Structure 1
Amino acid sequence: MAGRTAGIRGTGPRAVRVKAPGKINVSLRVGPPREDGYHSVASVYLAVSLYEEITATVTDEPGVTVTVDGQGSLNLPMAEIPLDSSNLAAQAASLLAELSENSTGVHLNITKRVPIAGGMGGGSADAAAALLACDALWNSGFSRDELAKIAVDLGADVPFALIGGTAVGLGVGEQLTPAISKTPLHWVLVTSPFGLSTPAVYRTLDDLRLAAGHEPPELPEIDPQVLGAMRAGDAHALAELLHNDLQDAALELAPGLRDVLDAGKEAGALAGIVSGSGPTVAFLAESADHGETIDALLASTGLSTELVSGPAHGARIVSDYIA
């Protein structure tokens, strides 16, 4: 993809702040391992109102630097976040710099709110926010769709964090089709003080299937009833349809999550599901008030909780300014 003609360096903003959402996999079906080592999936993504935030600032020195801080009540193991070129946001900025004619050195300050290694796409949200922030910072001129195509090279969840809302993801999750879902759905998240490695969860899923003699379809499909329930905003119908093929693997690696699922049921949640590869657990409520009740009951037991709703918007510029 060719880079775009930028404005004259120095005339644009010196800093841009962007926020991008975490996500819940409302339905996630996983095929067998492919020859390339990945798995085909059929996922219904729901962006939720828990946002990562990145401030990208022009630097005099070339290259990309990263700092991280955290806000909110979530358990955030900050020491696990790389601050070098392996950071996904740094990779996003470096990739866009190669495609932008007037790129500069840039410092990325990441404010973490989405659980780290929690199955909610926090790193992908960081990458999406970095793409949008650096595009504005350097006046690169890429459209949202063009940025989404660039984002595919960074990970399957990154394009969705750019687009937000509700979408069906096929392939490895990067083939996105937006879905209609306008009525807010309310969730209570229970986070853990530890993360789970996504590759380890997938390997565990493969091992469990092999031991059980289960052969999933090569190309998994979405149950259309899931999309119907979301389109109608029918939380009770959706509660019967939540599904995650990775959940048993996450429970195998983190057995204590079974107690969390039981606690949510006792607190009156319509349903609970491990989000993506875990260990974050998402509980569906019938309304905002019901969510507050569930949240209070779970928090009273010492669990770390967060009330969210979705669909939420994708990556969005919050501010740009001359620093």
Structure 2
Amino acid sequence: MKNSVTVHAPAKINLALRVGSPRPDGFHPLNTVFCALDLHDEILLDEAQELELEMVGCDLAVDDSNLGLRAARALQDYTGTSFGSRITIDKKIPVAGGMAGGSANAAGVLVGLNELWELGLGAEQLHEIGAQLGSDVPFSLLGGLAIGTSRGEDLVTLRPGFFQSWVLILDGEGLSTPAVFGEYDRLNPEEHEPASVDELVTALQGGSVSDVAGLLLNDLAEPAFQLRPDVREVFDSVAGRGIAAVLSGSGPTIALLCESDKVADVVAGQLRNEGRTVLRADGPAAGAHVVRSS
């Protein structure tokens, strides 16, 4: 067994999120395009007798509702091991911001404990465990750029045609993903399949970032705006600052795509001067991965 492992686990945004009516199991079928960003949580896993969890930079619960702790227990169950670890998660990804911060933590814990405990599990096995924990966990493991179908866990990797520079406008009040999906169902009661993302996929594999303008679509945006009209107001006020804007996941984070990293730096500075809370991030980035091991 290793003594200590450090993992970086990335945030994601959905460049497109097309939603269908609920399946019999309650999940919504999706056609989505994921992009991992170089905004990440850092997860430190130290050798210990029992499983312990500390959250830094946020006030999230450290009980069995925490996805990081659930991932550790799922890995124990899958492998039959009784090893422990002291897990410290340093949060940089906004909580309840539609950027899969919880899923990133689960993915990071799976990757980190696989290394710490020297289990030797492969990517397919980690994907299998991750898919049971949450729909976004498999992509948090994979990273890069990918199409997600079913409930988002069936993934096909895409070759990115260009680098993406993003300005992320944060909101201090999170949005509940179940509440947003519930509002989506209220607004769209008829049975339907998720719309295609083929046009966006073609543009993303081309040579120009400007080709995706007008193709970033999120079916959860209107439900989120219905629940939080103030988010709609912010979205409308900033949408013209980049070449495209999209609500990230179930919100409330707003993502502005800019034509270059330099332009994104300028836009981010302008929005900060206007009193907005913003982050800069670029993508596609690697999935959850070990950065130190000893």
TM-score tier (shorter): over 0.9
Does the aligned pair in 1 maintain the 2:33–2:197 contact within 8 Å?
Answer: no
Q: What is the TM-score when the length of structure 1 is the normalising length? A: 0.88
Give the 3 Å change call, closer, same or farther, for CA 233–88 of structure 1 in structure 2. Answer: farther
Q: Hey, what does 1:4 align to over in structure 2?
A: none
Q: Name the amino acid aligned to 1:66.
A: L
Measure the CA separation in 1 of the matches of 2:82 and 2:181: 37
Q: Hey, what does 1:151 align to over in structure 2?
A: 130
Q: Hey, what does 2:84 align to over in structure 1?
A: 105
1:259 to 205, 214, 233: 233
Q: Hey, what does 2:56 align to over in structure 1?
A: 69
Does the aligned pair in 2 maintain the 1:57–1:107 contact within 8 Å?
Answer: yes
Structure 1 residue 101: deviation in Å? 4.9
Structure 1 residue 88: deviation in Å? 0.3
Q: Name the amino acid aligned to 2:52.
A: T
Q: Name the amino acid aligned to 2:13.
A: I
Q: Hey, what does 2:212 align to over in structure 1?
A: 238
Which is worse superposed, 253-262 or 201-210?
253-262
Q: Name the amino acid aligned to 1:48.
A: L
Give the 3 Å change call, closer, same or farther, for CA 107–206 of structure 1 in structure 2. Answer: same
Residue 140 of structure 2 is aligned to residue 167 of structure 1: no
Q: Name the amino acid aligned to 2:127.
A: A
Structure 1 residue 190: deviation in Å? 0.4
1:229 to 203, 218, 224: 203
Structure 1 residue 317: deviation in Å? 0.2
Q: What secondary structure does 1:33 align onto?
A: coil
Q: Name the amino acid aligned to 1:175.
A: D
Q: Hey, what does 2:39 align to over in structure 1?
A: 50
2:277 to 297, 304, 322: 304
Q: Hey, what does 2:242 align to over in structure 1?
A: 269
1:248 to 210, 222, 226: 222
Measure the CA separation in 2 of the matches of 1:66 and 1:159: 22
Q: What secondary structure does 1:148 align onto?
A: helix
Q: Name the amino acid aligned to 1:179.
A: L
Measure the CA separation in 2 of the matches of 1:178 and 1:103: 34
Measure the CA separation in 2 of the matches of 1:102 and 1:216: 44
Q: Name the amino acid aligned to 1:69.
A: V
Measure the CA separation in 2 of the matches of 1:190 and 1:34: 32
Measure the CA separation in 2 of the matches of 1:288 and 1:297: 14
Does the aligned pair in 1 maintain the 2:31–2:197 contact within 8 Å?
Answer: no
Give the 3 Å change call, closer, same or farther, for CA 288–217 of structure 1 in structure 2. Answer: same
Give the 3 Å change call, closer, same or farther, for CA 236–243 of structure 1 in structure 2. Answer: same
Does the aligned pair in 2 maintain the 1:185–1:233 contact within 8 Å?
Answer: no
Structure 1 residue 57: deviation in Å? 1.3
Give the 3 Å change call, closer, same or farther, for CA 109–203 of structure 1 in structure 2. Answer: same
Measure the CA separation in 2 of the matches of 1:160 and 1:181: 16
Unaligned residue ranges in structure 1 (runs of 5+): 1-11, 71-77
Measure the CA separation in 1 of the matches of 2:292 and 2:191: 46
Q: What secondary structure does 2:118 align onto?
A: coil
Moved over 6 A (4+): none
Structure 1 residue 233: deviation in Å? 4.5
Matches within 5 A, 1:81-230: 81-210=60-189, 215=190, 217-218=192-193, 220-230=194-204
Q: Name the amino acid aligned to 1:272.
A: A
Unaligned residue ranges in structure 2 (runs of 5+): none
Q: Name the amino acid aligned to 1:320.
A: S
Residue 11 of structure 2 is aligned to residue 22 of structure 1: yes
